[in-house]
Amino acid sequence: MKTKSYPHLFKPLALKGLRLKNRITMAPLYLGYAAEGGKVSPLMLHHYRLMARSGAALIVVENAAVAAGGMGSPRTLRCDHGRFFPGLRDLAGVIRQEKALAALQINHAGRFAHVTDPVAPSAVPTFGRTPRELSRREITAVQKQFAAAARRVKETGFDLVELHGGTGYLLAQFVSPYTNKRIDRYGGSIENRMRFPLETLKRVQDTVGGFPIGYRFLADEWLPDGLRLEESVVFAGALSDNGVAYISVMGGTYESFFLPEVVRRSKKPGYMVSLAQAVKKHVSVPVIAAGRISTPKLAESILDKGRADLIGLARVLWADPFWVKKARQGRAGDIVKCSPRCNACMELVMKGRPAFCTRWDRKTRGDHQALFAWSVPA
């Protein structure tokens, strides 16, 4: 073992009564691996077993819908009904069997939902559709859906739950001045716009007690009229003061990810780390940095300089599930790298197809194909 090369990366961390064996987490990554209708599939179990076996301390399962009307795609995982319990228990089980902590991220897609009647804070069009503005009664109903979903996360054996306030989904839509044009107590100032997610957090806390709750945090939408870091750090401070276990920082939404300047930015190593660093100055809870942190050397540097407390690996870990073990053994040069010039996985996801990595060998790709009903391109 050569952990001395990366002493900060392999240092344990206490988190709301949990012990993370190192500072490496798997950040939530949507790949379209759930079965049609939102149940856990054999491929999803296989995928998360590999991710947990990697040696990462915490595995965050992505984007489970709190309601059928909040699904971002037909293959979004669901946790809004008891019929999803068996699969979710199996999913938590395969992760914990590999000695990793298991988190489930819960979400409502809002204006990005794959439904005929999407809802949002305000009727702001997106991708040719105009969502319906939520009424005050509906706002309360959605908050209750988040709380009920969090209770199911706890009951199915996960170690913690993460509220999805990133990617421009519903929680983030309320915080954004671009998507929130309301004139009631949920719109206007940043204090009003962050009211909905803070109330949702409080309702979840009241439901699950001391069960740890993380938050996926949108620091900057990278849109001309969108949420900026100057405002989002105010919200981050409020989340910290109100008892979240950690803040997992990201930038961008579906409306900005494919803008030329954002595409260029996303090709750079550690392209979202500056956002995490800015948020960290305003909070007293651990902060997760992510965004093409492709090498152990970069991850160690981020931690050593105090820019973040934890590292979130998504496509980097998916491309090479042995990333953590290779880093621990001093074999960083053997890591299979996620190429910044390749976006095949995202292109498949945007088409509603299950993703695969072009860097995988034939056997790995075949294993994934065999577990999914669809064939994928050769």
DSSP secondary structure code for residue 343 in this structure: -
Which residue in 216, 200, 38 sits closest to 115, CA to CA?
A: 38
SS3 state at 160? strand
254 has catalytic annotation: no
Helix residue ranges, H only, the chain: 42-53, 85-97, 136-155, 170-175, 190-193, 195-208, 229-241, 260-266, 273-280, 296-304, 315-319, 323-328, 344-350, 362-370
Q: Alpha-carbon distance 94 to 87, whole Å?
A: 11
Whether 108 and 142 have beta carbons less than 8 Å apart is answered as yes
CA atoms of 244 and 212, how far apart (whole Å): 7
List the end-to-end C-alpha distance of the chain, in Å, as a whole number. 37
Distances (CA, A) of 225 to 180, 221, 248: 11, 9, 23
**Contact assessment for residue 113 and residue 72, using Cβ atoms and an 8 Å cutoff:** yes
6, 33, 48, 169: which is the annotated catalytic residue? Answer: 169
Active-site amino acid positions: 169
